[in-house]
Amino acid sequence: MIDAKGALVLPTFADLHTHIDKGHTCERSPNPLGSLTGADTTTAQDSVYWSVEDVYRRMDFSLRCAYAHGTSALRTHLINITDKQLALTWPVFSALRRRWAGRVELQGVSLHVLSFYRDLGAATRLADLVAEHGGILG
């Protein structure tokens, strides 16, 4: 029990649009154009640095920051541009969702360009992977 007498009690935040797998890379892979196309290109190029440890560290840091600032629910897109990103982001997301259970509710949404879905085989593999990790195909 907490005595809130004379205090202000507010609900926690729900952050509905994040990209925790792409965060904290600007020092090593800047986006000089500041555009969406530049961000997509930069993220694809940055994947040379991606490993389980790197993705986990960056995503966990995003969650620690969100939690410290009062966020208890977070919806994040997970980038699926390169095969390497696809193989890393979903398993790391699942591990972090388990680790943060009870503190930050996590929802993962796949992020891919619409034209990607023209390839039925690739789209099916993505859908299966997203479903395996309890995500949403977006």
**Residue 41: domain span:** 13-26+34-109
Residue 43 and residue 82: Cα distance in Å, rounded?
A: 9
Report yes or no on 114 lying in a domain: no
Report yes or no on 49 lying in a domain: yes
Report yes or no on 101 lying in a domain: yes
pLDDT digits 0-9 by tens, 36-76: 888 888 888 898 999 999 999 999 999 999 999 999 999 99
- Contact call for residues 29 and 42 (beta carbons, < 8 A): yes
Report yes or no on 52 lying in a domain: yes
Select from 98, 85, 99 the least CA-distant residue to 110.
85
Helix intervals (H) in the chain: 36-46, 52-68, 83-100, 120-132
pLDDT digits 0-9 by tens, 110-126: 988 889 899 999 999 99
Report yes or no on 99 lying in a domain: yes
Q: pTM of the entire structure? A: 0.88
Report yes or no on 80 lying in a domain: yes
Report yes or no on 136 lying in a domain: no
